[in-house]
Amino acid sequence: MQVLATGIGADTTLARIINRVEDAQDAKARTQSFIDRFSAWYTPGVMALALITGIVSGNIVLALTLLVIACPGALVISIPVAIVAGIGRAARNGILIKGGEFLETSAKITAVAVDKTGTLTEGKPQLTDVVTVNPAYDRTEVLRWAAAAEAGSEHPLAVPIVDAARNEGVAPDGIPEHVTPVPGKGIAAQVGDQRILIGNQPLLDEFQVAHNSEAESAANTLAAQGKTPMIVALDDTVLGVIGVADQLRPDAAEMIARLHATGVEKVVMLTGDTRLVAEAIGRQVGIDEIHASMLPEDKLEAVTQMQRDGYVVAMVGDGVNDAPALATANIGVAMGAAGSAVAVETADIALMGDNLLKLPEAVGLARRTVSVMRQNITIALATVALLLAGVFAGGVTMSMGMLVHEASVLVVIVNAMRLMRNSASAPRQATAA
């Protein structure tokens, strides 16, 4: 037995996850950067106040007390400890967040755009129908010619067609001489001296194949059932229509309901499938808005338009076909990223598995984390303000001030550590926060 090693330990998915989590915990959120800038002015201000107080009052103990208790220790640690706790909790739950900035942005998400194949569906399509529309060709012939063309295609829908042909004993002999993908339409393949087209009606129109009303009707019927129809044509003759269906994920509808519960205003489907297919899937899962027959550049424009409309957009896709939209969205989310180096390296959030419910969990956790950050800032500032007032009122000594100050640091840390607990009611808490 021979085994080929494709990478050493540092190249494995686990190593990439560890490196990404470490980098994420070091990355600063916008609020943290603001606190750092605030501290750069606050600390010298406190030193100047202590110096002036000592000179004016002649009381060195009072000046030192001010200097010690006004130290912004709890304020400085309030954001980093919450970020580390939030990212750590997410990583333990299989949600890889790239950094504090993306965690904070995720808390503001108001719209989610999702791809259909591999996101709402399982990404494992199967051949369901072979419809003949030409008396000269039976079902087996239609499947054989379709498989002969798809044998040279890298599209995910090619696999179930070739597999079905193999199971029925009409597997293609080799791959076509030439295969030309037509984005958003299908493929054109050259097998021997014959041209095979397999795709939608616009593909046939592009190659000037005459319309076949029976084929169009069969394609529309399959699409209305949530199946992806593909018309098969040999040279200028339409042979039939094949239907491929991808199983809907059982938790797709619950995911959308939970996203709405976390405060997401709308969930939009962006798919290259026909509108009939998209609408059939959308009805089952409760999609708010559907955009169908989309090319990669169309998805990019749809995301850009939502941003222009004032939405903070998260785009969920496979990281390859949806790359332009993922890059443009405020937050790019890769589904099933385990084993996908591209997704782990480039996505803002990678869901390490195929559990759709991780997406609303990520949004809910982000909102809880931002809520804790605000609580920590309030605790830190209130503590310093009360101590300063107490010092000038004469009721707070240096030892008492130090005790209260250190206690506030512990309170901030303990408050952030609450994020490390699992919470079944996270979406509800996030909404309330």
Backbone angles phi, psi at 122, to 5 degrees: -80, -10
Which of 191, 124, 123, 109 is CA-nearest to residue 152?
Answer: 191
Instruction: Write phi, then psi, for 121 (nearest 5 degrees).
Output: -110, 170
* CA 106 to each of CA 44, 180, 203, 315, 333: distance values in angstroms, whole numbers, following the listed order: 34, 40, 39, 11, 10
State which amino acid sits at residue 93. Answer: N
Active site amino acids: 115
8 A C-beta contact, residue 288 and residue 266 = yes
Residue 411: burial class (beta carbons within 10 Å; 0-12, 13-18, 19+): middle
Q: What is the pLDDT of residue 173?
A: 84
pLDDT at 209: 92
Range with lowest mean pLDDT among 273-277, 347-351, 393-397: 393-397
| Bigger pLDDT: 273 vs 323 | 273
Average pLDDT, the chain: 82
What is the band of 369 on the pLDDT scale with cuts at 50, 70, 90?
very high
The pLDDT score that the predictor gives to residue 341 is 57
In which residue are the tokens 């809907």 written? 248
The Cα 342–Cα 338 span in angstroms is 10
pLDDT at 386: 85
pLDDT at 280: 87
pLDDT value, residue 319: 54
Q: What are the helix and strand counts (H, E) for the chain? A: 17, 13
Q: Are 37 and 112 in contact (CB under 8 A)?
A: no
298 within 8 A of 328, measured Cβ to Cβ: no
Of 68-72, 139-143, 176-180, give the range with the top mean pLDDT.
Answer: 139-143
Determine the Cα–Cα distance for residues 173 and 148; give it in Å rounded to an integer: 7
The reported pLDDT for the residue numbered 408 is: 87
Please compute the mean of the pLDDT values over residues 149-155 and round it to a whole number. Answer: 86
Residue 76 has pLDDT above 70, yes or no: yes
- Interval 371-430: pLDDT, tens: 999 999 899 888 888 887 887 777 777 778 778 878 888 999 999 999 987 654 444 444
Q: At 431, is the pLDDT very low, low, confident or very high (cuts 50, 70, 90)?
A: very low
3-state secondary structure of 132: strand
Q: Is the pTM of the predicted complex or chain greater than 0.85?
A: no
- Which position has the token pair 């106040």? 49
At residue 424, the pLDDT reads: 44
Q: Give percent of the chain with pLDDT exceeding 90.
A: 38
pLDDT at position 268, please?
96
CA-nearest of 269, 245, 244 to 255 is 269
Q: Write the DSSP symbol of residue 119.
A: I
Question: What pLDDT shows up at residue 36?
Answer: 61
- Distance of alpha carbon 284 from the chain centroid: 21
Residue 254 pLDDT level (bands cut at 50, 70, 90): very high
Confidence class for position 360, pLDDT limits 50, 70, 90: very high
pLDDT interval class at 63 (50, 70, 90): confident
The residue ranking higher by pLDDT, 153 or 140, is: 140
